[in-house]
A = this chain, B = another copy of it.
Amino acid sequence: MKDKSMRSNRIQKLSRRAILSYGQPISDLMSKALANPSLISLAAGFVDQESLPCEETQEAMRRLTADESAMQQALQYGTTSGYPPLRDAILDRLKHQDQLSDDPTLNIDRMVMTAGSNQLLHLVAETLLDPGDIVPCSSPTYFVFMGTLKNLDVQAEGIESDEHGMIPEALADRLEFWRRRGELSRVKAVYVVSYYDNPRGVSLAYERRQQLVEVCHRFSVDYPIYILDDMAYRELRYENDDQPSLLHFDESRQHVISTGTFSKSFSPGIRVGWGILPESLVAAVCNQKGNIDFGSPNLNQHLMHHVIQVGLLDEHIEQIRGVYRTKLESMLEAADRWLAPLADVHWIRPDGGLYVWVELPQEVDAGLGSALFERAMEEGVLYVPGEFCFADSGVPIRKNTLRLSFGVQTPKRIAQGVEALGRAIRDVTDR
C-alpha cells in the first residue's frame, strides 16, 4: 500500500488547464520582497496601508449591526448577481458620472457583483472565450489578466498604444487583417484599462473612446466584438477632470462590458467589485459565477452599501487622492532628480493611478535576472520588469522598460527607491 501511494504521487495527472496555468510572475517578486524586508519594494500594486478606511468600515459595521433584521439578511446567503440595493447605488453613481442618468435600459438586471474587477474579467473570459481565441489589448497591459487568458489557452495580442492609450487605427488594422484571413470570429472582446492603466498610468483619450467603440461596432459583422472596459483605477484621479467611460459612447449599450472595484478606492480586503453586462451575457456570466462561488459574500456587499449611502466612499476617495498625489509627486520629483540626468531614460507623468512607467535606453535589459534587476536589488529597490506586461503576440516585448508603484511606500521611501534605481541604472549603463 505504502509503495503504491508513493508511486502514485510521483506521477501527477492535472487538467489541461492546470498544466497551462502557472504562478503569476509577480509572486516571485513578492517572495523576494518578503525575504528581504529592508528592500524598498516599488513592485507591489497594493494600496497605501495607513489610509485604509478603518474608521469608515467601523462606522458602516455599526450601521449594519444596528438593524438586526438587516444584519440577519447580511449573514444569510444572497443571490448570485448580488445585493440589489448595492447594485442600485453603484449604477446610480456610474450613470451620473457617465451622463447616462436618463437611460432606462441601464438597469441593475445587467449587473453582477464580483470579487473585485478581476473576477469580472475572469468570468467574462470564461463565458466568451475558447482555446485559440484572441483578445486584443493595449501594449503594455495588465499582466494578471494576460495570465488568466493564458490559463484559458487564449492569445493576448498587443495592439500599438501610446500615451493616450490604445490606437484605434492600429486595432482596426489588426481586425481587418484577421477578417481577411477569415479569423475574425476568434476575436470576441477587446480589453482596455481605460483610466490610469496598469502598468503605465495612461488613460484612454476622449476621442479614442468614441473611436474604439466605433471600430468594435464596425467589425461586429457576424458576431459582436465586445470592449471589456476595466475601470479599476477610475477614482484614483489626482489631476484634471473625470471623463465618461466607454459605455457613454456605446449608443447600443450592447457592446461595452464595464467593470469596476472598490479594492483601490476603498479596501481590497472587503473585495467588492462589479460588472455591467450586455443583456445577452448576463445569464451566462451568472451561471459561471454560480458554479464558482454562488455569489460574492453578502456581508461585504451590505457593508459597502452602507459605505456608499452614508457618503463614506466619497469622503474616503477625497482623502486618498491627497495621499497618493503626494506619493506620486515624490516619485516624479525623485525621477526628475535621479533619473533625468541619465541618458535616454524617460518616464510617463500620470495624472492618476498607482504606477509610473520608465523606459531605459533601447539596449538596457530590465528583465527578471538581468544585470540591472540584480543591481537594483543590491541597491535596495525592487521593481516590476516591464517584460511581464507585454502580450506574447502583436507589439514586441520591450525589455528596456519597468513599472514603479507608488501605492505602498512612504514618500520618503519612494524617493529613496527611485534614487537607488538611478544608481543601479547608472552602474549598469556605465559598464
Contacts and interface: CB of A to CB of B under 8 A. Distances in A.
Interface of A: 1-2, 4-6, 8-9, 11-18, 21-24, 27, 46-47, 49-50, 52-54, 57-58, 61, 65, 68, 71-78, 115-116, 118-119, 122, 126-130, 147-148, 151, 185, 188, 214, 217-218, 220-225, 251-252, 254-255, 263, 267-271, 278, 280-281, 283-284, 286-288, 290-294, 296-300, 302
Contacts of A47: 76-77
Contact of A294 (B72, B116, B290): B116
B130 A15 contact: yes
A73 to B, nearest CB: 8
Given A23-B283, A49-B76, A294 B12 contact: no
A72 to B, nearest CB: 5
A270 B13 contact: no
A29 B247 CA distance: 35
A119 B289 CA distance: 10
A298 to B, nearest CB: 4
A336 to B, nearest CB: 30
Given A75-B52, A254-B5, A280 B12 contact: yes
Given A75-B268, A299-B270, A252 B14 contact: no
Given A18-B288, A298-B269, A4 B72 contact: no
Nearest to A6: B252
Copies of this chain in the oligomer: 2
Contact of A22 (B8, B148, B214, B287): B287
A23 B290 contact: yes
Given A218-B4, A252-B5, A127 B14 contact: yes
Contacts of A297: 115, 269-271, 297, 300
Contacts of A4: 217-218, 220-221
A54 B73 CA distance: 10
Contacts of A9: 224, 252, 254, 278, 280
A75 B54 contact: yes
A71 B57 contact: yes
A301 to B, nearest CB: 9
B221 A188 contact: no
A147 B291 contact: yes
A221 B214 CA distance: 57
A142 B423 CA distance: 61
Nearest to A223: B13
A115 B294 contact: yes
